[in-house]
Amino acid sequence: VSFGRGLRSETRVLDLFKDSNGKIWVAASDLGLGVIDQTGKLKWLSPNKGLKGRVFSVVEDGQKKLWVATSQGLFTYQSGFFREVASTQFKNLYLRKLFLRPSGEPVLVTSSSGYFRLEGERWLHYECLDNELANNIFAYVENEEGRVWVGTLGGLFQVQEGKFYPVNFNGQKISHPVYLIMPDREGGYWIGTNKGIYHWDKQHLRHFDQSLGLAGDEINRSAGFIDSQGNLWIGTNNGVSCYQPEEDISEEELPLPLVELREVKVGTKSHPPFQPLSLKFNENDLIFGFRIISFVDEKKIKYRTRLLGFESEWSEFRPLRELEEGYTNLPPGKYQFQIQAQNVWGRWSEVISSAPIVIHRAFWTTWWFIVLLALLGMGVYFVIFQAVTSRRYAQKLKVLVEARTKELARSLQEKEALLQEIHHRVKNNLQVISSLLYLQAKKIKDEQDRAIFEESRHRIQAMALTHEILYSSDRLDQVSAANYLQRIIDALFRSYLGKSTRIKGEVKIDKNLYISLDEALPCGLIVNELVSNALKHAFPGQREGKIKVWCTGETAPDSQGEKQGVLVVEDDGVGVPPDFELNNNLGLGLKMVYNLVRQLEGEIEIKRERGTAFIIRFPLGRKKS
């Protein structure tokens, strides 16, 4: 039939349908909808009849109502005019094709949203929720019992209670695109895909492709037809094929595959497969060589194997690629290898079995070795008995030693408790002295004398703080430098400044630094003297500034890994006089600092950049003389 136009895009016919009056309706995309009457004359329906868009598909339902799917929606044809089905469900969807149910109701498949089925007055939507490819539908078929198959971009699916399930043909599935589903006259189905066409005869799934005479491997959409003679016509990407059942080979005529076991490899040695084998425990890696021959399309031979004694179930179907099957690290036991092949029709060959193969146990698992081992165990038991007898005496000595150790530990705990009590009493006595000095200072009117009392009280408080920390600590031989020095500095700032904030304090002390009692008292007094001097003399006339104190531990230079402490007290005040010499111009406080540094076996350095900085270095952990 000539359309009378030259453009290929305008002459693309997407669907044909013969109605109840014998007319053939033509869905021809851009050309619109045409109808061929009984005389063979083609007539195109005018666009002013209400049909809009490119025409994709056309069917007539059981009520003789014509349905047309276009790029603009779904339309019905009644009384010579098209009316659009007003449903928002179809909006913005590609309505690919219309199909009919056995009861005559239309079914509309889409390219991205599953399919719609008219049930009564409503269009019900069926969509796959877990596989987007299954919603791109090309084919739909429903049998008299209501079973629904859909051919999709993701394969062949069956729809049950609104859910999509892959169709299972005796363990085989079709998971590549399905463009055609067509029932035959015997109750089977032809299923066209992009990899040939399948035939399901209700018992076997057979596959046809170019190797079996098909013109092309990709079946065109809906391109299948069974003529009045029973011939199947199939349109492919490479031409048209015709399948004539009477010319095909039946299952009974096609010989079964021939399976041959060729060898059994144990390590590098090859053995005949039908000769019984007796192997050592370490000869437990077996490889079975075989070959399979078929007389039709050997590329589609499948086979399965199992090793009786190791597994009872057959393996999965496998294509014939490797001609051997291997097993490694088999335990001792009796084994027999079996193999079976399947031809293109799905018929299985006879089961081919190897001769029995026995892998023996290692000698150390035999009964005589176990008896020998038992005798040896009895000898070992006698030796152990002698050793245990000797150890009992040692256990008695151990009990005596542990008892003595507990007594020494108890004595040590008593001494530690006594030492803590001494620290507690020393701290109390020093606080009493501090309180007496405070009361006496209040009665003194001379400012210089009162300052001497206050300085003495601060020194005594620094010593008392050491004993207070040792009393409350779990260890009596060392204190935390950060806790100890911070509390001294906080007390000095409260004493000299009260609530004033004109002088800021910045303290950076290593929290992991611990110092012994021999180091704690001198360090506390040094910090007390240097911070007190800075608070009293570095910032005259309500001058603002900052006092920095930091202390850390480091590896001493030019030493064998010995640790040293570094204590720095600096301020940004007026600084010391230019003619100040550490060894000559020392007041009482600095003389005390100088002597305390000597007591620590350390050294002191003074820097005059932007104020005054005292840098003191002393060895850590060394017993002070």
Q: For 244-361, where are the E strands, in sequence order?
A: 258-266, 269-271, 277-279, 286-293, 302-308, 318-319, 324-327, 333-342, 352-353, 357-359
The model's pLDDT over 460-494, given as tens digits with 9 standing for 90+, comes to 766 666 666 655 666 667 888 898 889 888 888 88
The model's pLDDT over 415-444, given as tens digits with 9 standing for 90+, comes to 555 555 555 566 566 666 767 776 777 778
The rounded distance, in Å, linking the Cα atoms of 154 and 164 is 11
The rounded distance, in Å, linking the Cα atoms of 97 and 224 is 15
Torsion of CA 359, 364, 366, 372, to 10 degrees: 170
Q: What is the reported pTM?
A: 0.49
Specify whether 269 is located in the same domain as 228: no
Q: By percentage, how much of the chain surpasses pLDDT 70?
A: 89
Specify whether 106 is located in the same domain as 230: yes
CA atoms within 13 A on the CB side of 392: 5
pLDDT of amino acid 499: 84
CATH of the domain at 26: 2.130.10.10
pLDDT of amino acid 300: 78
The rounded distance, in Å, linking the Cα atoms of 283 and 287 is 11
The model's pLDDT over 339-398, given as tens digits with 9 standing for 90+, comes to 999 887 777 899 999 999 999 988 888 888 888 989 998 989 889 988 888 888 888 888
For residue 89 the two structure tokens come to 């469900």
CATH of the domain at 542: 3.30.565.10
For residue 608 the two structure tokens come to 């005059």
**Radius of gyration, CA atoms only, the chain:** 51
Phi, psi for 578 (deg, rounded to 5): -60, -30
**pLDDT of 311 strictly over 90:** yes
189, containing H or E segment: strand 189-193
The model's pLDDT over 282-304, given as tens digits with 9 standing for 90+, comes to 999 999 999 998 877 777 788 99
CATH of the domain at 276: 2.60.40.10
pLDDT of amino acid 459: 67
The answer to whether residue 168 sits within a structural domain is: yes
Specify whether 24 is located in the same domain as 75: yes
Which residue reads 């539908």 in tokens?
137
The model's pLDDT over 248-263, given as tens digits with 9 standing for 90+, comes to 766 666 788 899 999 9
Specify whether 152 is located in the same domain as 262: no
Mean predicted confidence (pLDDT) in 264-281: 93
The answer to whether residue 45 sits within a structural domain is: yes
The DSSP-derived string for 69-136 is: EETTEEEEEETTEEEE---GGGTT--EEEEEE-TTS-EEEEESSS-EEEEETTEEEEE--SS-GGGGS
Mean per-residue pLDDT of the chain: 86
Instruction: Please say which residue of 363, 394, 427 terminates a domain.
Output: 363
Among 79-88, 96-105, 179-188, whose mean pLDDT is lowest?
Answer: 79-88
The rounded distance, in Å, linking the Cα atoms of 337 and 487 is 85
Among 240-249, 438-447, 497-506, 611-620, whose mean pLDDT is lowest?
Answer: 438-447
Specify whether 316 is located in the same domain as 375: no
pLDDT of amino acid 350: 92
Q: How many helices (H) and strands (E) does the chain have?
A: 5, 40
pLDDT of amino acid 590: 81
How many other β-carbons are positioned within 10 Å of the β-carbon of residue 358? 13
**Residue 300 in 3-state DSSP?**
helix
Number of domains making up the chain: 4
Return the closest-CA partner of residue 595 out of 573, 616, 612: 616
Specify whether 39 is located in the same domain as 62: yes
Task: Give burial (CB, 10 Å; 0-12/13-18/19+) of 107.
Answer: buried
For residue 420 the two structure tokens come to 């803590």
Strand order in the sheet with 122-126: 95-100, 106-110, 115-119, 122-126
The answer to whether residue 448 sits within a structural domain is: no
The rounded distance, in Å, linking the Cα atoms of 585 and 582 is 6
The model's pLDDT over 148-176, given as tens digits with 9 standing for 90+, comes to 999 999 999 999 999 999 999 988 899 99
The model's pLDDT over 543-596, given as tens digits with 9 standing for 90+, comes to 899 999 999 998 888 777 789 999 999 999 988 777 776 666 567 778 888 888
The rounded distance, in Å, linking the Cα atoms of 482 and 565 is 13
* Domain of 604, in residue numbers: 497-625
Instruction: Please say which residue of 213, 247, 281 terminates a domain.
Output: 247
104 Cβ partners below 8 Å, 6+ apart?
61, 62, 63
Specify whether 210 is located in the same domain as 297: no
Return the closest-CA partner of residue 353 out of 363, 368, 338: 338
